[in-house]
Structure 1
């Protein structure tokens, strides 16, 4: 993805060398470098802020880590045909984001403090399926 800018500029350079009397020796490398720089910033930001990692002890959403022991319950999925939103759908989004990232679905979580938060993933059903046994194990561990 980062290489698209330089590749297109290289193609433009070859076309200019073959067809035109003017070759933009300064502009094409400059634009290749600028395009690569802007795209690399976007790639790094997407990897940092829109990534999900689940381990046996924590759920990382973007830049925020949530210990599994703090999750009490996974809320039921939202009904897309419901007229009113469920309370968790307006709760704070994990990962220091203002909303659930594009092309991802929200998952409501109730924390030990009683607060509701929104986790998110591209595969929300898969994340739910992986979270459920971890939360059950955590709850059993806290009872012992």
Structure 2
């Protein structure tokens, strides 16, 4: 994003972004209803105009609510200055270290695996993977993303631009 908007003309470049859900998903239900309508027009004497139109509108409305919620609560954006997880923002300057990946075969979980998850949700959202972070105040938190490797790489580069210099 560039240009002048509500955040000002000097928005930092986006290093990593996941939008949470795509608006094109809203069209899937109505498209399937159109396909059903075409099949009915070609194969049968009865065409369910009203029912298919109603179902298309209901499906689009329900999915639009879900997409809006996903874009608000499970989106991730990392810039050079801020990590946003859902509605929570953490300045990159507050992140002391990106912690090593969890060992799925370890007998004991790593300490960060029971830490608070960033964002306003009670835990790491479904189909997202946690990344442990140590903040400068010593607390541990979990960042998360679908592409956890991509977010980990971007976070590591943002937090420790010169490898070996962070805590």
Report TM bin, short chain.
0.7 to 0.9
When normalised by structure 2's length, the TM-score is 0.73
Alignment partner of 2:103 out of 63, 79, 88 = 79
| Superposition pairs of residues 114-125 of structure 1, within 5 angstroms | 114-125=138-149
Alignment partner of 2:124 out of 92, 97, 100 = 100
When normalised by structure 1's length, the TM-score is 0.83
Superposition misfits of 4+ residues, deviation over 3 angstroms: none
* Greater Cα radius of gyration, structure 1 or 2: 1
Aligned residues: 137
Higher helix share: 1
**Gap regions ≥5 residues in structure 2:** 1-24, 162-167
- CA distance in 2 between partners of 1:124 and 1:11 (Å): 37
Aligned to 1:91: 115
Q: Give the 3-state SS of the residue equivalent to 1:13 in structure 2.
A: helix
The answer as to 2:47 corresponding to 1:27 is no
Q: Which has the higher contact order (CA 8 A, sep 6+)?
A: 2
Cα deviations by residue, 1:14-35 (Å, 9 ceiling, x for unpaired) = 2223333322222110000001
